[in-house]
Structures are given as C-alpha cells and as structure tokens.
Amino acid sequence: MKEHLFTFMGTAAGCGVPSFFCTCPACEEARADPTLARGDCGVMVRRTGLPEAETPTVVIDTPPDARHQLLREGVHHVDEVLFTHCHFDHIGGLGEYEYLVGLVRGGVPLPAFASAEAQAGIRAEFHYMDWCLDFQGIAPFETHVFDGVRYTALPVTHAPGTYGYLVETDATRLFYASDTGPLPPETTEAVRGVDILAMDATFWKRNWNAEAHHSVQECIEEGLALDAGTIYLTHLCMHYDEPITCAELETYLEQYGGRVKMAKDGLTLPL
C-alpha cells in the first residue's frame, strides 16, 4: 500500500521558465499559460492521510522559489531537509527556513543532510543560519530513514559531493537525480530497475555541459538502459540551447508510449 506522496516542487534548471530576461518560445508559452511555468528544482515527500500539522514532511533542496512552492502545496511545516548539492538553484531559498525554525520550531534546529562538500558550501553562503540547521553528514551510499522512507545518498556526476537520492518505500523505488551527467557505475547498479526515475534532462538537443548534465535524449537513453519503469524528465531548461515548448516536447515524447514524461511543478506521485 502506498502511504507516501512524492511531489515535484520545482522542475526547472537554474533561472526558471520563464526566465525574466528571456522571450524564447518556451518562456512565452509559460507566460501565456502559467501552469507551464517552472521554478527551480526541489522535491518533497510526505505521508498521506494525516492532518497537516502531523504530516511527516521531508524536502530535498531549498530552491530560490521555496516559499512559493510550499505555499502552493499548502505545507505548514517541514521536518527535515536533504541537499543534493550547494548550487544556487538548489539552496537559494534556504533563508525562508530561518523563520520556520525561529517562529514555528521554537528555535529547534532543522535536521539537515548533505555531503561534506555541500555542507561547507551551504555554511559559507548561509553563515547567519548556523543556529537553524542541525547538520548531519550523509556519506556516499549511506541510507537515512525517516517516517519509514529510506533515502540513500548516491554519488552522481556534477559538482564535487553532489548526490542523487534513492527514495524507497516498501511499495516503490524512486531515484531522484536533478543534476548529473552520465551516472557513475556503482550508482547505476544501485538504481537499476527502479520503478520511477526522475533525472536531469537539462538540455534540448545539444548538451554543452555533458560532464555535469544530461540532454533530454541522454536522460531517456540512460533511463531505458537501466530499465526504469517510468522516466520523468526534470531540471528542464527548455531554452539553454535550442528552445522547445512543452507542447512540442509532449509531442516528441509520444513515441515512448507513456513511459517517458515531463515532470511539472506540483506533479505528485504515490510512493
């Protein structure tokens, strides 16, 4: 039985869609239809069926749009934060949590999990929040359990110390890797055959940062090769190189018969 929900809080690569400085077809499509807009990448895992105040809630990353994303999902509290890495598009909204700790948690620091490298970066950028975060290291391949959900930190190909998280319940195995080039072999073996893969698909067509990201096609090919049940494209830029609209990408994905989907902000999957 599926007792948890996995929500895409944001699904864009850094600068979002629309970007304030961009008038490409993808950004204009999102301006015309805000349901197609994307905030920076993050996800949330919650238990179902409990009153809001008692619902165990974990977020992975605190993107710059965190406040709007949490408001949109009707979230009143967060119990733990896991970080993939310390780039701005994944941590820029951490400052919002200072108020949560001060006003809601009575000053009790928020448990936070990150690699040593990510922790150092976050501490440097948010030096004034030391009192808010109870950093607990999580080593590569280490599993952290919260509310019956297992989170295993798996190294990916991005900035040093970047993780993807294998998120497992008794019903579902999901691998979330918002920022990664080709997966390292040990990580590939650890996630082979996952029910759900939510992975970096930053570029449409040309990938000009192949050491750190996937193109849409590379994400699909790697996902199919590791026998993922359903593949969700996330960290979508839609305009770093050749722009593509959601309408065009939906049409392109029809060839996969529903096995490959675009992640969307607010999309929620049972776990």
Residues that bind Zn ion (CB under 5 A): 22, 24, 26-27, 87, 89, 179, 239
Q: Round to whole Å and give the CA distance between 236 and 255.
A: 19
Q: How far is CA 76 from CA 4, 16, 18, 128, 262, in A?
A: 17, 24, 27, 23, 27
Q: Which residues touch 189 (CB under 8 Å, ≥6 apart)?
A: none
DSSP three-state, residue 23:
coil
CB of 185 to Zn ion, least distance (A): 21
Q: Round to whole Å and give the CA distance between 166 and 173.
A: 7
Check: CB of residue 138 under 8 Å from CB of residue 113.
yes
CB of 114 to Zn ion, least distance (A): 13
Select 26 or 101, whichever has its Cβ closest to Zn ion. 26
Select 168 or 200, whichever has its Cβ closest to Zn ion. 200
- Strand 196-200 with 230-234, pairing: parallel
CB of 157 to Zn ion, least distance (A): 11
CB of 36 to Zn ion, least distance (A): 12
